[in-house]
Amino acid sequence: MQFFAPRANTISRLVLVGIAGVPVAFVVFLCVLTYTPYVTRRNIVVYQPLPFSHEHHSGQLGLDCRYCHTAVENSSYAGMPDTETCMTCHSQVWTNAPMLAPVRESLASGHPLHWNRVNRLPGYVYFDHSIHVAKGVGCSTCHGDVDRMPLLRQAAPLTMGWCISCHRDPAQELRPASEIFDMQWTVPPDQARRGAELVKNYHIQTAHLTDCSVCHR
């Protein structure tokens, strides 16, 4: 007597394949998820206490990055502008603009504005702005075309693989010291030659740039 239809064999095979395939598919899903904006936060605009436009201030007005990020050359942290820095200009221009109300309130109360971090690294990652600036890594290399961003977003994935690709071959992105804060700088056609010379000029020791202790301390 036949208890199962002929298609039962096919169904059982599909079930076995499914049981074996689900864990594999789940692992693949997790690997892919790691590189999506959901995890990396790439190109996601972060809410700020007021809609500060880098496109206007940096791109149109030509403000140097260091005017607001005063510690970028001397500290691991680039620094954020205090209210007094904002009011240097806005005590004279756009003094009653509704969008600048948080700045005026901050000045009156003495409570600083709370800017939310856009480019965020995990707590176990050590990153020093000053050493990168000193060794020829420009702002736009990591932060993208900030001078074209009405609202700031994270331009690079900031994944471990992304960082290591530069540490393995720093010459590909290095630029002269005079061009560090030039947001319009682009990689020249002969970057391989120029980059190799800059590696020597900046005294960059490439042998240990990919050591774990460089970024994880």
208's CB contacts (< 8 A; 6+ apart) are 214
91 SS3 class: coil
User: In terms of domains, do 192 and 138 share one?
Assistant: yes
Report the domain count for the chain.
Answer: 2
User: In terms of domains, do 24 and 76 share one?
Assistant: no
User: In terms of domains, do 126 and 166 share one?
Assistant: yes
Q: Which amino acid would we find at residue 206? A: T
Does residue 65 fall inside a structural domain? no
pTM confidence score: 0.83
Alpha-carbon separation of residue 61 from 54, 134, 182 (angstroms)? 10, 26, 14
User: In terms of domains, do 200 and 142 share one?
Assistant: yes
Q: Of 149, 117, 108, 96, whose CA–CA distance to 49 is shortest?
A: 117
pLDDT in tens, the chain (217 residues): 556 566 666 776 777 777 777 787 777 777 777 778 888 889 999 989 999 999 999 999 999 999 999 999 999 999 999 999 999 999 999 999 999 999 999 999 999 999 999 999 999 999 999 999 999 999 999 999 999 999 999 999 999 999 999 999 999 999 999 999 999 999 999 999 999 999 999 999 999 999 999 999 8
User: In terms of domains, do 183 and 134 share one?
Assistant: yes
Structural domain boundaries, residue 20: 10-39
